[in-house]
């Protein structure tokens, strides 16, 4: 670790040295000649900086030592060095201007040692605290009708200029499906005074974490959390260089946990793009709904819209092109991306999308019974539940941590169901995000004709199965309590009538396990077999070889609906849809964090994300194969972000063909490693027919016809 830090510091200081030398050359050299009296102290100074690991402060401090050189030209050189030091400060702590004021960032290094600029913890909306809890937040835009001077008196901590006027804005946004602007009441908005320090990320949104195993560690974050992070390889400069494509990453976490800066920029910053991550409200604070106009729901998704609007107005200041924005995400982030394709509120805010291992059709991406869940939490905190407005007013006065802690009361087994709160169709309200069910005829009209890229991994079900796949006690409990646990684990506890749940549960167990008990042998042997066969390139029947537990969970929660979503979108959209199946198992996996084991259980849900984002569960710099995979995926994703067509590198001799909506098979790019890519066409990426035959009432997917007919008849 120490050697790596020294290496990074050396590269960074080499850059500083080059900047100093270039600046001095521009300011001091005349007629192409520089005297030795001028160049010698400059070179010595740069050498000392590089040798001693010192930066701007050392340059400034060393100026005094150069005064012994008695020459007017050297005096000029000293001023040049001072100017260079100021330039170094500007480059290592860059400052740009957005609508709310100046923002000061920092300079970091990419995975390849390339300097880039980071602006972290920038607020994009009003903090949703106090009376603003459970409300749609405001973006700082709109009319500025009045100015008023501050009253005399002691300025606040952020008021360096007490004479600065207070700006009072009328905030507006599109509030209904017809795009009619709604003028909200005047909201006092005070742009920050001075420079906003954007060197560190903002707080995660308050949440009940999954990956924290100790109960007293599960509640993390703050309600004041609407911050985003912008990373750019190039800032606007002299000559107006071309603006860069923007890739926005929306974090996953089942709409319940996670935060933007978990997904670091160091891989994307080896490319000429602007990379953005963001926080949005989660769980009960982000997706509570009273199923009426009081709290219609989807505030977490509306936060994302707010961030996208902020980016449209400000991303050019970071060198980003507001007319070339690609939104992307994994799991709940991928589903969020898909929802933005379906929402009238997101119109015009992005131009391409990438949904990895998550779509709006996955059963866990739309919550049921939200009013009853709100009632349970309110009653537990001593609030009445009969009147929505009074109940919500009471909840706004309760400690947020206590509200979030009650999430565990909605989880039947371990962290399942893992999305008790999530997106919903809004039945009332002035600012709807989603007004029709996914796959409904009405949403076919709203569906944006924009290129879409989506994907699956071969062992999607390792989330959440990795939590218990290596735990004998958990497996035994699942085996014994399967009838009780399965409806929550597989997310049909609300969508199958109670009187039919036993029958459905027994059919599922028979399909995936037959007469075998659920245990270590059932899970491990089958999963290892599937990985061996899949990565060897042998043509196999997935439903017969994949690990029963992982395939059961993967089919229900990801695979069936991932395939259906791609084919549905390809059928109704005028823009191409691209699909890939990821079967590369690198050195590390999300399953290691979930299971506490380094055993190879297969290619987990979200494993592909580790090769483009600096995530907590992987280090792709450890092996040559992982580095090659990172380069490949970056090539694919950045080319898609530029043109809407993912370009497979020329040495692969593969053209990525889009999905054909009405074809019987689904066409996809298979990625088993970084070299052996191939196009495949498969009728079954999952046990689709089995799941569509079950009496699962999920109106948001409108599968009544799909259960009776094949996918091409949707």
Catalytic positions: 331, 460, 605
Report how far apart, in Å, the C-alpha atoms of 648 and of each of 450, 453, 665, 668 are. 20, 14, 22, 13
**Secondary structure (3-state) at 349:** coil
CA 643, 276, 289, 334 dihedral sign is: positive
Nearest to 604 by CA among 500, 709, 530, 504: 530
| Alpha carbons 665 and 687: distance in angstroms, whole number | 14
On the 0-12 / 13-18 / 19+ scale of CB atoms within 10 A, 292 is middle
Residues facing 103 on adjacent strands: 96, 196
**Secondary structure (3-state) at 171:** coil
Contact call for residues 10 and 50 (beta carbons, < 8 A): yes
First to last CA, the chain: 55
Work out the number of other CB atoms within 10 angstroms of the CB of residue 183.
12
| Alpha carbons 320 and 315: distance in angstroms, whole number | 5
Q: Could you give the angle at which helices 332-342 and 299-314 cross, rounded to 10 degrees? A: 80
| Alpha carbons 369 and 420: distance in angstroms, whole number | 9
On the 0-12 / 13-18 / 19+ scale of CB atoms within 10 A, 709 is exposed
* Radius of gyration of the chain measured on its C-alpha atoms: 28
User: Which residue carries 């889009």 as its tokens?
Assistant: 658
| Alpha carbons 76 and 78: distance in angstroms, whole number | 5
| Alpha carbons 85 and 82: distance in angstroms, whole number | 5
Nearest to 223 by CA among 130, 151, 331: 130
Contact call for residues 206 and 223 (beta carbons, < 8 A): yes
Q: Could you give the angle at which helices 498-513 and 482-489 cross, rounded to 10 degrees? A: 90
Write out the H or E segment, with its range, that includes residue 143: strand 143-148
| Alpha carbons 304 and 226: distance in angstroms, whole number | 9
Work out the number of other CB atoms within 10 angstroms of the CB of residue 597.
13
Contact call for residues 558 and 359 (beta carbons, < 8 A): no
| Alpha carbons 51 and 66: distance in angstroms, whole number | 18
Report how far apart, in Å, the C-alpha atoms of 697 and of each of 205, 366, 689, 691, 701 are. 32, 13, 16, 12, 9
């Amino acid at each position: 670790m120490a050697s790596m830090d020294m290496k990074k510091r050396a590269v960074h200081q080499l850059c500083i040295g080059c900047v100093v030398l270039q600046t001095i050359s521009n300011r001091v050299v005349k007629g192409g000649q520089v005297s030795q009296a001028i160049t010698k102290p400059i070179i010595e100074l740069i050498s000392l900086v590089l040798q001693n690991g010192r930066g701007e402060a050392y340059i400034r401090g060393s100026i005094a030592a150069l005064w012994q050189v008695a020459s007017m030209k050297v005096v000029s050189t000293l001023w040049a060095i001072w100017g260079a030091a100021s330039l170094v400060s500007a480059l290592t702590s860059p400052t740009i201007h957005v609508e709310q004021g100046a923002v000061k960032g920092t300079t970091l290094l990419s995975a390849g040692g390339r300097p880039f600029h980071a602006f972290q913890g920038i607020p994009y909306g009003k903090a949703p605290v106090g009376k603003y809890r459970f409300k749609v937040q405001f973006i700082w835009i709109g009319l500025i009708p009045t100015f008023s001077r501050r009253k005399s008196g002691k300025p606040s901590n952020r008021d360096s200029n007490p004479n600065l006027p207070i700006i009072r804005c009328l905030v507006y946004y599109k509030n209904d499906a017809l795009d009619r602007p709604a003028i909200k009441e005047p909201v006092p908005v005070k742009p920050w005074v001075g420079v906003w320090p954007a060197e560190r990320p903002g707080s995660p949104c308050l949440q009940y974490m999954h990956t924290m195993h100790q109960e007293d560690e599960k509640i993390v974050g703050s309600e004041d959390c609407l911050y985003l992070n912008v990373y750019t390889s190039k800032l606007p400069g002299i000559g107006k260089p071309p603006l860069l494509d923007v890739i926005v990453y929306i974090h996953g976490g089942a709409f319940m946990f996670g935060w933007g800066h978990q997904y670091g920029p160091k891989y994307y910053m080896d490319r000429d793009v602007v990379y953005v991550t963001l926080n949005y409200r989660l769980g009960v604070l982000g997706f509570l709904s009273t199923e009426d106009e009081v709290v219609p729901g989807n505030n977490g998704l509306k936060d994302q819209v707010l961030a996208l609007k902020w980016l449209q107005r400000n991303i050019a200041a970071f060198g980003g092109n507001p007319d070339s924005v690609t939104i992307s995400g994994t799991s709940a982030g991928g589903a969020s991306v898909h929802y933005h394709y379906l929402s009238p509120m997101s119109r015009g805010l992005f131009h391409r999308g990438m949904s990895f291992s998550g779509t709006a059709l996955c059963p866990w991406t739309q919550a049921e019974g939200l009013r009853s869940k709100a009632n349970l939490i309110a009653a537990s905190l001593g609030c009445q539940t009969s009147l929505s407005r009074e109940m919500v007013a009471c909840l706004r006065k309760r400690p947020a941590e206590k509200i979030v802690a009650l999430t565990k009361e909605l989880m039947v087994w371990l962290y399942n169901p893992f999305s008790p709160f999530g997106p919903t169709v809004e039945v009332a309200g002035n600012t709807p995000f989603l007004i029709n069910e996914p796959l409904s005829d009405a949403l076919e009209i709203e569906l944006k004709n924009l290129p879409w890229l989506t994907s699956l991994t071969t062992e999607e079900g390792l989330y959440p199965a990795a939590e218990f796949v290596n735990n004998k006690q958990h497996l035994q409990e699942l085996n014994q309590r399967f009838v009780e646990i399965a409806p929550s684990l597989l997310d049909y506890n609300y969508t199958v009538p109670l009187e039919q749940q036993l029958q459905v549960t027994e059919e599922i167990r028979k399909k995936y396990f037959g007469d075998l008990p659920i245990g270590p042998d059932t899970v491990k042997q089958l999963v290892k077999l599937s990985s061996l066969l899949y990565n060897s390139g042998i043509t196999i029947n997935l439903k017969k070889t994949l690990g029963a537990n992982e395939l059961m969970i993967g089919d229900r929660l990801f695979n069936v609906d991932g395939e259906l979503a791609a084919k549905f979108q390809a059928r109704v959209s005028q823009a191409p849809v691209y699909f890939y199946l990821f079967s590369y198992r690198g050195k590390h996996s999300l399953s290691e964090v979930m299971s506490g084991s380094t055993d190879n259980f297969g290619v987990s849900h979200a494993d592909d994300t580790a090769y483009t984002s600096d995530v907590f569960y992987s280090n792709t710099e450890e092996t040559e194969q992982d580095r090659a995979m990172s380069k490949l995926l970056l090539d694919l994703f950045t080319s898609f972000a530029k043109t809407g067509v993912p370009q497979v590198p020329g040495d692969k001799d593969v053209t990525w063909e889009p999905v054909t909506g009405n074809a019987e098979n689904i066409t996809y790019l298979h990625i088993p490693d970084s070299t052996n890519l191939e196009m495949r066409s498969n009728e079954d990426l999952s046990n689709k027919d089995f799941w569509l035959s079950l009496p699962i009432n999920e109106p948001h997917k409108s599968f009544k016809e799909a259960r009776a007919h094949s996918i091409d008849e949707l």
